[in-house]
């Protein structure tokens, strides 16, 4: 009896999925580190940045 040819598609597909998941994990770790280092809870718009800058620069009485 002749043996069935083995398909290469499944191992290649598994490798692609594994690589994609690994890439997503690395991106998530990098994003978490960037957020942790910046100490900013959310993206700031220009109005909020100007207000914070004004509050920080104005001397208290």
Q: What is the pLDDT along the chain (61 residues), one digit of tens a residue?
A: 557 777 899 999 999 999 999 999 999 999 888 877 776 666 778 888 888 888 888 776 6
13-33: burial string, b at 16+ Cβ within 10 Å, e else: eeeeeeeeeeeeeeeeeeeee
- Rounded to two decimals, what is the model's pTM? 0.50
Sign of the torsion formed by the C-alpha atoms of 26, 30, 36 and 41? negative
Residue 22 phi, psi dihedral angles, 5° rounding: -60, -40
Closest CA to 31 of 17, 18, 16, 43: 43
């Amino acid at each position: 009896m002749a043996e069935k040819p083995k398909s290469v598609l499944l191992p290649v597909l598994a490798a692609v999925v594994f690589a994609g998941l690994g890439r997503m994990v690395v991106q998530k770790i990098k994003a978490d580190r960037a957020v942790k280092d910046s100490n900013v809870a959310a993206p700031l718009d220009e109005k909020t940045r100007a207000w914070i800058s004004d509050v920080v620069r104005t001397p208290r009485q």
